[in-house]
Amino acid sequence: MLYESTRMESLPVASAQAILSGIAPDGGLFVPMNEVTINTKELEKLVDLSYQARAVFVLKQFLTDFNEEELRECVEDAYNSKNFDHASIAPLTLLNDNLAVLELWHGPTYAFKDMALQLLPRLLMKSAEKVGDESDYVILVATSGDTGKAALEGFKDVPKTKILVFYPVEGVSQVQKLQMITQEGHNVGVVAVEGNFDDTQNGVKKIFNDQEFKARLLEKGHKFSSANSINWGRLVPQIVYYFSAYLDLVKTKKISLGQEINFVVPTGNFGNILAGFYAKSMGLPIYKLICASNQNNVLTDFINTGVYDRNRTFHKTISPSMDILISSNLERLLFELSVEPGKVKGWMEDLKRAGRYEIDEDLKNKITCNFWAGFSSDLETKQRIRKIYENYQYVTDTHTAVAWDVYEKYRYETGDKHPTVIVSTASPFKFNTSVCEAIYGKNTIEGKSELEILKLLAAKTGLEIPKALNQLEQKAIIHNEVCQKEEMLMQVAEFLF
Ligand SMILES: *Cc1c(COP(=O)(O)O)cnc(C)c1O
């Protein structure tokens, strides 16, 4: 199977090359050129298999230039009991006959990005072997918190790779910072940048585009690659858990094989929910994909009106991993559903130039056939966390609560009664301050540090603090470099040479 660019100006490539390149040379995103389908019979065979075996099955449909043995090796390296604290990898918690939660946060950093970032480095290495590339790959990441740590954990000690993460001094929480500056591994670096997330991200982009520096790198046998969510190697691992959740519902006899269900997805960059769309396109019986946003509701407006408009106020919310105004992976959906895929390039140019584009009625209808969209405010999110705890004794993080609240709106507005899976993207302990405040009130957290609140939340709910978070205070601080935003290139050079 070959992959083509959504902008249609680059040559098609095999999946190994798509994974190595990350973004297509014409600035577009790689998408599979052939339709992949799985029939009910094949689905039935997966019911009794492990997460790992289901993963190999799904991956081999797309990564056809990898053989099954190679895929199995990558999958077993990524999804095992060393990296994940739950034997099912992505367990499904059943709340009642109609509702379940898919927990995607049992990996090393307790957020769903581990599902992809544990596998990507392994796929990247195999891809380099395949195309006969002997360079060392250098991963640069600008992070506002979650991605940096998940990428560090994914790439640490992976042969022939080095990873350097920049985070804004003013941008990350105490726990997120501690997670990164205590990172172990012989090939990792972490540097704080005096500035905000935009400064940090612009700095990294500049380095990526510095041709002179790239040439210097190449002389030393190094190449840049990217771990961000537009890489096909990050998207394809996410298709697996939609299948896995469905199969678990069949296995526990909550649904019968072939019955349609909904997924509700807390959405930022549109990567997670797009993987759900690919699963649906492959024939997984999904009725609706419900796209949940926080106050940064650019996607809600887009799905409901057909106008994408990023010219609006940016809100800092209590679900920070969804504070995004440009959802890059949406480009793939537009391409997949357009009758004239040539139009995507124009829309993306409009977005870059004017911050806005408008799709035609036909495409809009196709989107609303598959998706429903809504958003919730911080206040609604906190109220929902509390209600969920009261009704189900289930503790949920802020991102998952956005999804849950939007699901309640969906049910109220549509009356739809399909069995539904809420996709849960972070452990509640990762966003402990907001969760504690939502359930127990503001005065329980006042004057307390994040680490104190972590313990308080555990004591009050009776849940265990995830191991790596609990050990943070005892860990040695390894990375204490701080640089000016103008000094980022120098930091990269020092790290590599
Ligand atoms: C990244 C992230 C999201 C958003 O996922 P997208 O694939 O960007 O839509 C939601 N919740 C959490 C906790 C995340 O880290």
Q: Give the whole-angstrom CA distance, residue 165 versus residue 167.
A: 7
The answer to whether the CB of 241 falls within 8 A of the CB of 90 is yes
Predicted pLDDT at 171: 78
Place of tokens 């298709």: 239
Predicted pLDDT at 391: 96
Active-site residue flag, 113: yes
273 Cα–ligand 1 center, Å = 9
Average confidence (pLDDT) over 8-37: 94
Predicted pLDDT at 341: 85
- pLDDT > 90? residue 202: no
- pLDDT > 90? residue 208: no
106 Cα–ligand 1 center, Å = 15
267 Cα–ligand 1 center, Å = 6
Q: How many CA atoms lie within 13 A of 473 on its CB side?
A: 8
Query: Residue 229 — very low, low, confident or very high, per pLDDT cuts 50/70/90?
Result: confident
Query: Residue 205 — very low, low, confident or very high, per pLDDT cuts 50/70/90?
Result: confident
Hey, which of 235, 242, 322, 398 would you mutate to test ligand 1's pocket, going by the most ligand atoms within 8 Å of its Cβ?
322
Query: Residue 270 — very low, low, confident or very high, per pLDDT cuts 50/70/90?
Result: very high
313 Cα–ligand 1 center, Å = 20
What CA–CA distances, in Å, run from 17 to 171, 202, 364, 468?
34, 26, 32, 35
The answer to whether the CB of 321 falls within 8 A of the CB of 341 is no
- pLDDT > 90? residue 369: yes
- pLDDT > 90? residue 173: no
Ligand 1 atom 15: residue of nearest CA: 321
322 Cα–ligand 1 center, Å = 6
How do residues 13-26 score in pLDDT, each as one tens digit?
999 999 998 889 99
How do residues 440-486 score in pLDDT, each as one tens digit?
999 999 999 999 999 999 999 999 999 999 999 899 999 999 999 99
Predicted pLDDT at 174: 84
Predicted pLDDT at 11: 96
Predicted pLDDT at 209: 85
Measured from the Cα of 268, ligand 1's closest atom is 9
Hey, which of 326, 399, 431, 435 would you mutate to test ligand 1's pocket, going by the most ligand atoms within 8 Å of its Cβ?
399
Question: Per the residue annotation, which of 113, 149, 254, 288 is the catalytic one?
Answer: 113
Predicted pLDDT at 283: 97
How do residues 78-93 score in pLDDT, each as one tens digit?
999 999 999 999 999 9
How do residues 93-116 score in pLDDT, each as one tens digit?
999 999 999 999 999 999 999 999
How do residues 325-357 score in pLDDT, each as one tens digit?
889 999 999 999 998 888 999 999 999 999 999
Predicted pLDDT at 226: 82
Query: Residue 201 — very low, low, confident or very high, per pLDDT cuts 50/70/90?
Result: confident
The answer to whether the CB of 42 falls within 8 A of the CB of 87 is no
Hey, which of 103, 112, 290 would you mutate to test ligand 1's pocket, going by the most ligand atoms within 8 Å of its Cβ?
112
pTM, whole model, 2 decimals? 0.96
Average confidence (pLDDT) over 378-404: 98
CB atoms within 10 A of CB 300: 20
Average confidence (pLDDT) over 258-282: 97
Query: Residue 311 — very low, low, confident or very high, per pLDDT cuts 50/70/90?
Result: very high
Residues with CB under 6 A from ligand 1: 111-113, 146, 229, 266-272, 321-322, 399, 425-426
For the chain, helix (H) and strand (E) counts, in that order, are 22, 16
